[in-house]
């Protein structure tokens, strides 16, 4: 009888150990699954939406607005650039355009009376809005 009692206790201990292993294994699996789903949701959020708005002002070294300056956005893809949008500044030196989901891009500003400016920008996600102030020196 004493041996049967010990065998039963041993079997109960083995069942409990197996259950604890399953429980721990399931918790790890559930945690990993939750992390993967969370990462997928964050990536989905970042990729949602069209390109963000790029806007700004173009001024000279004295802070005066530069009208009719040509503003160009060049998207940088694997160190290759391509123009994705162009516009000109208004009478207040203001420009605004929709970006083509570019994360890294150059903003190039040209005007006949000023030296050209080319500035590199980086956004954290493609639908982020960007506000830029570009100062041009006269020629």
Residue-wise pLDDT tens digits, 38-65: 777 766 655 555 567 889 999 999 999 9
Q: Which whole number is the average pLDDT over 82-107?
A: 86
Closest listed residue to residue 118, CA positions, set 110, 130, 126: 110
pLDDT of 128 strictly over 70: yes
pLDDT of 87 strictly over 60: yes
Please check whether the domain covering 53-136 is classified as CATH 3.30.70.1140. Answer: no
- In this prediction the pTM is 0.61
Q: Which residue has better confidence, 25 or 119?
A: 119
Q: Which residue has better confidence, 31 or 21?
A: 31
């Amino acid at each position: 009888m004493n041996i049967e009692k010990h065998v039963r206790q041993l079997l109960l201990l083995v069942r409990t150990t197996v259950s604890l292993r399953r429980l721990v294994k399931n918790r790890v699996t559930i945690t990993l699954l939750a992390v993967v789903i969370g990462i997928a949701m964050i990536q989905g959020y970042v990729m949602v939406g069209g390109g963000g708005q790029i806007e700004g002002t173009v001024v000279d070294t004295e802070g005066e607005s530069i009208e009719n300056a040509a503003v160009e956005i060049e998207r940088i893809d694997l160190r290759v650039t391509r123009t994705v949008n162009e516009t000109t500044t208004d009478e207040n030196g203001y420009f605004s355009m929709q970006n083509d989901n570019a994360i890294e891009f150059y903003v190039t500003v040209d005007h006949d009376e000023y030296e050209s400016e080319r500035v590199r920008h980086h956004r954290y996600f493609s639908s982020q809005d960007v506000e830029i102030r570009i100062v041009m020196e006269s020629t």
